[in-house]
Structure 1
């Protein structure tokens, strides 16, 4: 099986300073499928999302105000070429009063499967992500990514995946 690079622009979201945001656009270049025909394998794939964030929910479980053990949950819409292509849900556990949080999220792309990732939520507006797995077309996904929030309830999520 040859290695082929694919670039997809799709949409996704991340949490920033107790706020989730993401962005999606989608376009694909070359790729090949594996023998079972359920998607590309042995390829590098880059996904880019325009994300429309929804208001997050903040639960104050620790000391009053932002503190360790507080929880943030979010649900955002993902877009590619102006068309909704999926959604993202996630949660963050606050670890200190500054809002520093440990976050995980699941991106669901319509008809393709899911991609999971983790990140540390803290300023600045660019977050580094670790892709931890997936399902369906992305069941063997690993890699990393970034989320850059715009401050306008939107952002850009880029996931660089290796599918085996």
Structure 2
């Protein structure tokens, strides 16, 4: 994805998230931290794998050219995950409860951060997702795993994808 395409998508996501109310308010920055302040000059590659039979999905994004200060800050914020373990997001009048649990052992990339996000949906449904991030040689690697046989299954898929991607970053 080119820098121009990436910029347009990021600006749209930022606009949507800027209107979100986050409680506790101290968690707002963490909740919005996935958006880089500038993606000018950045390049991203993304992919997904869907297994309809297993009800599993796995996704990856590799982004290069981001501001190194943003990369350091993003991974440093992982220490704040426990402070914001329980929060709510309200967007367009719809409120959802979000629980974040830090996970260990997702992949073997040094400095990787992983967590499970559980979202209670307004219709009574529940959604869980495993997220892992690492930076290798200035490339931000983000993997997501959801669905499948179990949380362990989603974690395993995310870990394998993280390690495979990191091995290819030279």
TM-score normalized with structure 1 length: 0.29
Give the number of the structure whose residues are more often strand, by fraction: 1
Larger RCO of the pair (alpha carbons < 8 Å, separation 6+)? 1
Give the number of the structure whose residues are more often helix, by fraction: 2
